[in-house]
Amino acid sequence: MNKEQLEMDVDNFLQQFFQSRIVERGQQYFYNGNVSKMDINNDKLRASVTGANTYNVELNLENLALSHCDCPYESKCKHMVAVLYELKKLLNNASTLSVIVNSDYSFENPAKTMAQLGHDLIPFVESIYQLLSKSGHFSNEHSNLIIKQFFEEIKKNVNPENTKLQVLALTVLIDGLYKKANQYETYRFRQNRFLAFFNELLQQAYPTIKEEVLKGSAFYEWYTGLLFELLEKQENGSPYEKLIATWLLCEERETTLIKYAELLLVKNNNSNLFITKLASLLFLQANDGVRSLSLLKELKTRLHPSDLIDHFFIMEQKNDYVMMKHWFDLFFPYEKPKQGTILGNLYEDMLVETGTSEEKLTIVWKNWLEQPSFISYKSRMKKMGDIEKKTVLRYILPNLKENLFRPQTEATYYQIISEEELFQEGIASLLIQKREVNSLTPEIEKLLKMVMKQQPALLLPFYHQLVERLVQKKSRVHYEEAAYYIKQLKIIYEKIDKTAIFATYLHGLRQRFKTFRAFIQELKTIDK
């Protein structure tokens, strides 16, 4: 992803694919700060945009034309525009990288190459340190973009051992920033910011790290030895912990994982909490859950719930939800993890797989109702059979209907109605809830389109109701809207072969509202 090229692509995309009125609305969302939860990963930028409802946008940074938003608008929308302007802001604020990529690096002596990289990256380390240590806001999106550019600059080196070069470069960057932050005593004041940067660095480098680990080369052996040396020197809370754990847990050979776990225990003798947790993770990755658990049992009084997150992630990756249930019962015997936390979400995922029907309703879906979301609804429903799905719908839909005055709840309710094609229930709800035509949200409009295609007769009472209420407002604008819905009624009556009933209805309107001259004029357009 070339920064300059991406800036040009964004400008061209906005000019060619978006109507001017949509751009203006999107700009307003951008200026109002409606864009949140931005994340850049694998040439995709994802973000949420909040207006009357919250929608999710995904930008394809390689081909912007493939970008999309999950709102009902069928073309390029204002939510996408808001995220594009947020991207332009990030690109404008991005630091200019000064990464040296033309040196002739050799891996016959990795230690020498690492020292050479340490010298070449001094300007870049200095510029990043200045960004991370200064006061004021430093966004995760800014961090993501800088790291993405960093790896792209490194990849420009034509060295055939480029993956090794990337591994050493990220190691040098972490080491350089950590030492400089400690030298100037800024690390403890900005620790969360530095650690967030290091975590993002390792996350973006993960595919490269995994590839190099699986090669099992001489470089792999050398680098693993280097990490064990760092482990003996590192302090609690240092970035080396995450680097070492990421590298070792990429290993897939069970015997090697167990060898490293046992080596860690010999060096540690249970005195260092991080090393003991890492050994436990390695045993778990090697499918030795018994030894993994026995280590943690000894530390149970010293463990914080967050110390168990990586263990539960490994169990989830292995789809071992039975083991997850056992661990949750053991470590959380009285109070289960709170809803919305990482562990809380993992606990709910476990219940979806192993819980009783009563547990799923009273815990999983009760929690879901506190913050209903269509995306999480679909995710949970994928794992359920038809009978279970019907039970859940009988439970959640009445609860949602009681809170339709909340925009997010209303949006979720009508999205579910459309997804499950519960058209009768949806229209019945509209007849009661929607007394004003100007309050028809995109989710409702999408539902109406679906019903029109599949069961148009269901729309008759709702459209008749809309017409009556619009005419009673006694204004030209509302008469025009009423005429639109009368035309929709005409289409429906033609589809169900009851044109005579529509003719009688139209005649009745002319008689009842004959003194409404502007409305009578609009009725003349019906037969055209």
Over the stretch 301-342, which tens digit does the pLDDT of each residue have?
Answer: 888 888 899 999 999 999 999 999 999 999 998 888 887 788
Output the CA torsion sign for 234, 235, 240, 245. positive
Residue 495 is predicted with a pLDDT of 92
Helix or strand or coil: residue 447?
helix
User: Is residue 97 predicted with pLDDT exceeding 50?
Assistant: no
Cα distance between residue 511 and residue 292, in whole Å: 82
How far apart are the two ends of the chain, measured CA to CA in Å?
Answer: 54
Residues 191 and 106 in one domain: yes
Whether the CB-CB separation of 460 and 498 falls below 8 Å is answered with: no
How big is the chain, counted in residues?
528
**What is the pTM for the complete model shown?**
0.63
- Locus of tokens 């200026």: 31
Cα→Cα distances 191→38, 177, 527, Å: 22, 11, 72
Whether 16 is covered by a domain: the verdict is: yes
Nearest Cα residue to 43 out of 16, 14, 71, 64: 64
What's the whole-number mean pLDDT along residues 174-202? 88
Nearest Cα residue to 482 out of 471, 492, 491, 474: 471
Helix axes 140-155, 191-215, angle to 10 degrees: 40
Cα distance between residue 302 and residue 285, in whole Å: 22
Residue type, 482: A
Residue 435 is predicted with a pLDDT of 62
Residue 527 is predicted with a pLDDT of 73
What's the whole-number mean pLDDT along residues 124-148? 79
- pLDDT category of residue 86 using cuts at 50, 70 and 90: confident
What's the whole-number mean pLDDT along residues 55-61? 86
Strands 54-60 and 44-50: antiparallel
Q: How many domains does the chain have?
A: 3
User: Is residue 99 predicted with pLDDT exceeding 80?
Assistant: no
What's the whole-number mean pLDDT along residues 150-168? 82
Residues 114 and 246 in one domain: yes
Out of 34-38, 163-167, 240-244, 386-390, least confident range: 34-38
Output the CA torsion sign for 345, 349, 352, 358. negative
User: Is residue 439 predicted with pLDDT exceeding 80?
Assistant: no
Cα distance between residue 270 and residue 379, in whole Å: 40
**Residues ≥6 apart with Cβ < 8 Å to 302:** 273
Whether 464 is covered by a domain: the verdict is: yes
Whether 129 is covered by a domain: the verdict is: yes
Element (H, E) at 59: strand 54-60
Q: Of 92, 122, 151, which residue constitutes the final position of a domain?
A: 92
Among 37-41, 318-322, 381-385, the range of highest mean pLDDT? 318-322
> Could you tell me how many helices (H) and strands (E) the chain has, helices first?
27, 4
- Locus of tokens 């148009």: 456
Q: What are phi and psi of 422, to 5 degrees?
A: -90, 65
Whether 477 is covered by a domain: the verdict is: yes
Residues 203 and 226 in one domain: yes
**Percent over 70 (pLDDT), the chain:** 92
Out of 18-22, 207-211, 250-254, least confident range: 18-22
More confident residue, 384 or 215: 215
Whether 203 is covered by a domain: the verdict is: yes
Residue spans of alpha helices (H) in 18-121: 20-31, 78-93, 110-120
- Locus of tokens 């993405």: 148
Nearest Cα residue to 121 out of 173, 182, 194, 167: 173
pLDDT in tens, 197-236: 999 999 999 999 999 999 988 999 999 999 998 887 766 6
Please give the sequence-ordered ranges of beta strands (E in DSSP) within 374-423, or none if there are none: none
Residue 93 is predicted with a pLDDT of 61
As a whole number, the mean pLDDT across the chain is 85
Nearest Cα residue to 215 out of 107, 314, 102, 100: 107
- pLDDT category of residue 237 using cuts at 50, 70 and 90: low
User: Is residue 101 predicted with pLDDT exceeding 60?
Assistant: no
Residues 54 and 153 in one domain: no
Residue 136 is predicted with a pLDDT of 67
Residue 361 is predicted with a pLDDT of 77
Nearest Cα residue to 260 out of 297, 250, 165: 250
Rg over alpha carbons for the chain, rounded to the nearest Å, is: 30
Cα distance between residue 48 and residue 56, in whole Å: 5
Q: 40 has which bridge partners?
A: 45
More confident residue, 36 or 136: 36
Among 7-11, 65-69, 98-102, 283-287, the range of highest mean pLDDT? 283-287
Helix axes 476-495, 460-471, angle to 10 degrees: 160
Residues 101 and 88 in one domain: no
Neighbours of 29 (CB within 10 A): 20
Both tokens assigned to 291: 């030894």
Residue 102 is predicted with a pLDDT of 54
Count Cα neighbours of 435 within 13 Å in the Cβ-side half-sphere.
5
Both tokens assigned to 334: 């009285």
Both tokens assigned to 497: 């072969």
Whether 312 is covered by a domain: the verdict is: no
Residues 73 and 35 in one domain: yes
Residues 469 and 518 in one domain: yes
Residues 487 and 515 in one domain: yes
Structural domain that includes position 44: 3-92
Cα distance between residue 379 and residue 40, in whole Å: 22
Whether the CB-CB separation of 261 and 289 falls below 8 Å is answered with: no
Whether 451 is covered by a domain: the verdict is: no
Cα→Cα distances 129→123, 183, 235, Å: 10, 12, 20
Out of 167-176, 218-227, 352-361, 518-527, least confident range: 352-361
Whether 492 is covered by a domain: the verdict is: yes
Element (H, E) at 47: strand 44-50
Q: Of 232, 250, 268, which residue constitutes the final position of a domain?
A: 250
Both tokens assigned to 228: 């064990």
Residues 65 and 187 in one domain: no
**Residues ≥6 apart with Cβ < 8 Å to 236:** 272, 273, 274
Whether the CB-CB separation of 107 and 219 falls below 8 Å is answered with: yes
Whether the CB-CB separation of 447 and 418 falls below 8 Å is answered with: yes
Residues 61 and 154 in one domain: no
Q: 47 has which bridge partners?
A: 57
Residue 436 is predicted with a pLDDT of 64
- pLDDT category of residue 292 using cuts at 50, 70 and 90: very high
CA dihedral 359, 364, 369, 372 (to 10 degrees): -160
More confident residue, 138 or 366: 366
Residue spans of alpha helices (H) in 104-159: 110-120, 122-133, 140-155
Residues 85 and 101 in one domain: no
Residues 151 and 169 in one domain: yes
User: Is residue 415 predicted with pLDDT exceeding 90?
Assistant: yes
- Locus of tokens 């100007």: 438
Burial class (CB in 10 A: 0-12, 13-18, 19+), 291: middle
Q: Of 36, 58, 92, which residue constitutes the final position of a domain?
A: 92
Cα→Cα distances 455→339, 418, 449, 494, 495, Å: 39, 12, 10, 13, 10
